[in-house]
Amino acid sequence: MSQITRFDIDNYCVSLPVKRLSRSTLRSYVKSLKQFWRWCHEYKLVVENITGHLSTPSENQNRRIKAMTTANFDAMVEACHILRDRTILSFMGDTGVRPIELINLRVDHLNLEALEAYVYGKTRTFDNPRLVDYSAATRDLLCLYLEERPDVDHPFVFVKLLKPHDQITYCTLRMIFRRLSDRAGVKTNGTAKSIRHLVGQRFTVERNLELARQKLGHSHIKTTMVYANIDRSLVKQATADLSFVDRNLEE
């Protein structure tokens, strides 16, 4: 690693096939590169952070998020044959947590009485988790699931079905959602991430952007702005519902 120079980093960035990659993908490449070298520098694995001069491409605010529909969410809930899977969907639907935050959810981070939980993962660490809220219905499912959950020697809430009942992984979660979406007949947007997008979309449309930002745990509201790019049918419906012209004509 010590032989890699800024010139090598610049050459790598220039060599990226810009015409074949979306802006979002390019942004992810550069962002991951910067995060990796910053981490190496912080832990003194390298003398210098040679990506400090790079600028991360801005987010494309016109992109459309791939949110699950409420009908498909309900269908997948009905497709759950085991309590663990139903609890996972309910918790994600209430909280809008990221998949990694669900995977890392700990029993000692649940406050069932207050309907709250501390989660950590992508943007937060174990020592600095964020607080999320859920409903009484999800609390009841959590209580039922924890009663039947096997005794394990780790603190994580959601475990694999087979012994030794390890903590679920991202691969496990992906398989759960693939199985449920196939069983429910959901052809598109049937992933764990699409539930988070559904929560963000509903909070933006039915409440406001700032509440959506806080709900999803975004540091900056510009990240949440993507949920403002809503479907045209919602714009039409809002036009009809909020029209003061029709009201005046009726009077």
Does residue 173 fall inside a structural domain?
A: yes
Please check whether residues 87 and 179 belong to one and the same domain.
yes
- Count up the domains in the chain and report the number: 2
Please check whether residues 6 and 94 belong to one and the same domain.
no
Does residue 247 fall inside a structural domain?
A: no
Does residue 237 fall inside a structural domain?
A: no
Residue with tokens 């449309």: 205
Range of the domain at 10: 1-60
Spatial CB neighbours of 99, under 8 Å, sequence gap ≥ 6: 170, 173, 192, 193, 196
The DSSP annotation for 160-211 comes to -SSTT-PBP-HHHHHHHHHHHHHHHT--SS-SHHHHHHHHHHHHHHHT-HHH
Does residue 82 fall inside a structural domain?
A: yes
Closest CA to 67 of 243, 199, 215, 240: 199
Please check whether residues 147 and 199 belong to one and the same domain.
yes
C-alpha gyration radius of the chain: 22
C-alpha distances in angstroms, 197 versus 36, 82, 201, 203? 27, 24, 6, 10
Does residue 101 fall inside a structural domain?
A: yes
Does residue 138 fall inside a structural domain?
A: yes
pLDDT of residue 61: 53
pLDDT digits (tens, 9 = 90+) for 90-141: 999 999 999 999 999 999 999 999 999 999 987 788 888 999 999 999 999 9
Interatomic CA distance for residues 113 and 133, integer angstroms: 11
pTM value > 0.85: no
Among the residue ranges 122-131, 188-197, 203-212, 240-249, the one predicted with the least confidence is 240-249
Does residue 244 fall inside a structural domain?
A: no
From the DSSP assignment, how many helices (H) and strands (E) are in the chain?
A: 12, 3
Please check whether residues 23 and 104 belong to one and the same domain.
no
